[in-house]
Amino acid sequence: MSTPVQYTSKDAYVIITITNGKANAISHEVIDALNIAFNQAEQEKKVVILTGQPGIFSAGYDLKSMTASPEAALELVTKGSKLSLRMLSFPFPVIIACSGHAIAKGAFLLLSADYRIGTEGDFKIGLNEVMIGMTMHHAGIEIAKARLAPIYFERSISNSEIYTPANAVTAGFLDRIVPEDHLMPTAIKIAEMFSNLNKKAHAETKLKVRKNYLNSLQQAIEQDSIEGLNPPIK
């Protein structure tokens, strides 16, 4: 059986690749595998490069789980929100090499990393939850509010505005874009640069900078668990 997440360790960094079908859906199995991969990267004390398949980083949560029942949707979204919390507090730099489309949870993963590189092309990046009939959850609002440019926050959350890679840089989903064949070389170059950071200082400073944000996100996750979700329309 093939794994939905591939792990490759190099001298200064690791590459974690999501490979789960055409949409690269974020399922329970993908989240579990990502947590295992981040565990291993933390043990190795290495910078993480998270990427997807050519043309698609991720189109978001697995729709079968999201539309099965409100309880099933809440379970998956809660796991996904906890994954974002972990990435945002991860003690080593997390780089995303966004290999194409990044929609819904795919875009939230972009907002959960330290540095995001996109690829040029006719790709869509953004949060389409409201468009598909899902009231945005509290954790999603906290993640977006902290990481998106203020003028794009409500446009992205309330209006489901979807961006090109270039506009996604302006909005705050990406830090830069490069030609497709430069994506991984650029990510590797940045990973090697980040590997020279003092590991203890990086980890402690990240937690100081994000202290209030991380606390707010944890509270939002708990609030979602209490209130439940309005899942996507079938």
List, for residues 124-182, the tens digit of each pLDDT value: 999 999 999 999 999 999 999 999 999 999 999 999 999 999 999 999 999 999 999 99
Half-sphere exposure of 226 (CA within 13 A, CB side): 7
| Average pLDDT value over all residues in the chain | 95
In the predicted structure, residue 107 carries a pLDDT above the cut 70: yes
Structural domains of the chain, with CATH: 5-194 (3.90.226.10)
- Residue that the structure tokens 């640069």 belong to: 193
Rg over CA atoms, the chain: 16
Please tell me the predicted confidence (pLDDT) of residue 233. 57
Residue 114, classed as helix, strand or coil, is coil
Confidence of residue 228 (pLDDT cuts 50, 70, 90): confident
187 neighbors 51 (Cβ within 8 angstroms) = yes
Provide CB contacts within 8 A for 68, sequence distance 6+.
Answer: none
